[in-house]
């Protein structure tokens, strides 16, 4: 107990010493020359301008004297601010993209504090991309910067987002809620159909669900968008309808591949690629997984991507045979 008490006392002494050291550094740091604004006000400006990634440089009215430069001074150097007109150059980093904005002239007044505010301005398209985890880097995305006088609550430079932006975001959020409600309704209807319906299409969905690595979304899409409404005569028609067949090209003595055709249903093609990756995970002992492992697994990333497309095409053909003739893909396992 005595040792613990001594340690606590020693830690308090060290803490007091650190505070004294920091206070001395801060007092020396805020010792600006020809200072008209108060130290507290300049500290607020320095904190929001000097340390903010939105401000790249602060220049004098003539544009010749650099009062502050982010690359030169970093976020810790002090600068002198007296009432007058200053030139502010912005540089805002967002989503790892640095965007440089216009130059503003700001008139600073004695006794006032200022704050640089930054906000992303999204149009509906960019907002939806942001909500679903995407990043919109097109013309729909921009950064809004403005300088606000904290004393008078007036914008002295820059462009504050319009009031319509908030209403637009609210409308987009209401649409998102509506779509989310509709998705839940569709999921509930689909689950009810799987339990009660006796149609041939739903029976095919149940048949696909028996395979490991095949879920409700993929099986439903495969049947309702591909296998349920069209009769295929051979494997070439299956691969061609999904756009997963190669497109060879020949001109004279030269011949090369131009990639897959990408014809037909793009949703089926995208799902086939995803299910091919899932097949490697959940059906590692199947003949298709072993074929991919031998030919592509140890190659370059580009070779593995080429191989997964070939696997998706072969797997789609095997699923077609499974639905038509009941032939389980070689080595595949059923769910317990």
Please determine, for residue 15, whether its predicted confidence score (pLDDT) is greater than 70: no
pLDDT: which is higher, 3 or 149: 149
The predicted-structure confidence for 216-250, as pLDDT tens digits, reads as follows 999 999 999 999 988 899 999 999 999 998 888 88
What's the confidence (pLDDT) of residue 141?
A: 56
Residue 73, Cβ density class (10 Å: 0-12 exposed, 13-18 middle, ≥19 buried): middle
- Name 59's bridge partners: 66, 87
What's the confidence (pLDDT) of residue 12?
A: 44
Give yes or no for a contact between 91 and 23, defined as CB atoms under 8 angstroms apart. Answer: no
What value does the mean pLDDT take over residues 30-48?
Answer: 59
Q: How high does pLDDT run on average in the chain?
A: 78
Residues 6+ apart with CB under 8 A from 11: none
Q: What percent of the chain has pLDDT over 70?
A: 73
Alpha helices in 145-299 (DSSP H): 163-196, 200-209, 216-222, 235-242, 266-282, 287-295
Give yes or no for a contact between 247 and 309, defined as CB atoms under 8 angstroms apart. Answer: no
């Amino acid at each position: 107990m005595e040792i613990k008490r001594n340690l606590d006392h020693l830690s308090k002494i060290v803490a007091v010493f650190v505070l004294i050291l920091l206070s001395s550094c801060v007092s020396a740091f805020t010792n600006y020359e020809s200072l008209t604004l108060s130290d507290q006000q300049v500290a607020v400006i320095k904190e929001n301008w000097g340390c903010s990634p939105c401000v790249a440089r602060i220049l004098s009215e003539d544009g010749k004297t650099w009062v502050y430069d982010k690359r030169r001074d970093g976020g810790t150097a002090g600068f002198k601010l007296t009432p007058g007109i200053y030139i502010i150059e912005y540089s805002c980093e967002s989503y790892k993209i640095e965007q440089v904005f216009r130059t503003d002239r700001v008139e600073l007044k004695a006794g006032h504090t200022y704050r640089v505010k930054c906000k992303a301005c999204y149009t509906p398209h960019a907002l939806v991309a942001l909500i679903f985890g995407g990043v919109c880097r097109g013309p729909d995305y921009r950064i809004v910067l403005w300088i606000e006088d904290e004393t008078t609550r007036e914008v002295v430079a820059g462009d504050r987002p319009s009031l319509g932006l908030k209403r637009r975001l609210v409308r987009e959020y209401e649409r998102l809620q509506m779509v989310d409600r509709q998705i839940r309704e569709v999921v509930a209807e689909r689950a009810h159909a799987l339990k009660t319906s006796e149609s041939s299409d739903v029976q095919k969905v149940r048949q696909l669900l028996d395979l490991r690595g095949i879920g409700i979304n993929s099986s439903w899409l495969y049947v309702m968008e591909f296998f349920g409404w069209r009769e295929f005569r051979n494997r070439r028609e299956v691969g061609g309808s999904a756009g997963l067949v190669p497109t060879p090209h020949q001109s004279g003595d030269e011949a090369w591949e131009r990639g897959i055709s990408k014809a037909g249903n793009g949703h089926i093609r995208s799902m086939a690629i995803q299910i091919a990756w899932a097949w490697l995970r959940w059906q590692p002992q199947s003949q298709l997984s072993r074929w991919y492992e031998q030919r592509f697994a140890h190659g370059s990333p580009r070779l593995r991507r080429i191989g997964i497309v070939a696997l998706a095409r072969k797997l789609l053909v095997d699923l077609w045979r499974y639905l038509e003739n009941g032939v389980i893909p070689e080595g595949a396992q059923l769910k317990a």
